[in-house]
Amino acid sequence: MQENNPDIQISEKKLEDFVFDHLNGSNYVDGFAIIKQIDLEYSFVHRQFHLGAYGIADLITLDVSVTDGVYVEVFELKQGCIDKNTLIQVLRYKKGLEVFLDDLNISHEPIHCNLIGSYMSSEAGFDVAVSCIEHISVFTYELDPNCGIYLKEPALEYNDKSISDKSSKILNCFDYISKDCSSQLQQYYKNN
């Protein structure tokens, strides 16, 4: 998948400003509440959240109004391509947040990850690998001269419903994860 309009560029900082403004206000993006409004009385949005050795997350939201503990979302923003490195990066932040909350004995729901970039990697199996991971969403953005930034959720799976295709997708997913992500994740978690 290629960038929608390579002539129009936005900085990662401007993208962060856009998402932050929508998290802090009552704005929905094109009527699609992919970035939900949060109740600031019980929640907060934090930019450039430092997670020690795990890195610095672009944005996190923390909602303490839920009954089963806190609800956390982490956002990783990319000016360009969402790829396996972006995925590994956001999973590192997720792990750091889990460690942080667990060390403080704070009960929490599963942490949700959001990847936002101008396009998704066309590397074979990447879309299938992402679709196999729970609590993760991927959004691409387009720049429109009339409405600014437009976010959309790309289809992450093929539409063929045959059993052999489903089996193939599952095998491709495990193959992709084991070859490309597993060794990097294992090395990272071994060191931390």
pLDDT computed for residue 162 by the predictor: 40
What is the rounded distance in angstroms from the CA atom of residue 34 to the CA atom of residue 18?
13
Q: How far apart, in whole angstroms, are the C-alpha atoms of residue 39 and residue 104?
A: 23
User: How confident is the model at residue 170, as a pLDDT?
Assistant: 47
Task: Set out the domains of the chain in order of their start, with CATH numbers.
Answer: 12-191 (3.40.1350)
**What is the rounded CA–CA span in Å between residue 179 and residue 79?**
26
Question: Tens of pLDDT along 124-142?
Answer: 788 888 888 899 988 887 7
Q: Please state, in angstroms and rounded to a whole number, the distance separating the CA atoms of residues 147 and 93.
A: 31
Token pair, residue 147, equals 């409405």
Q: What is the pLDDT of residues 72-120, one digit of tens each?
A: 889 888 888 899 999 999 999 999 999 999 998 888 989 999 898 888 8
Task: Give me the pLDDT at residue 88, please.
Answer: 94
Taking a C-beta distance cutoff of 8 angstroms, is the pair 85, 117 a contact? no
Q: How many CB atoms lie within 10 A of CB 99?
A: 15
Band (pLDDT 50/70/90 cuts) for residue 3 is: very low
Confidence tier at 37 by pLDDT (50, 70, 90):
very low
Question: What is the structure's pLDDT at 140?
Answer: 84
Q: pLDDT value at position 33?
A: 38
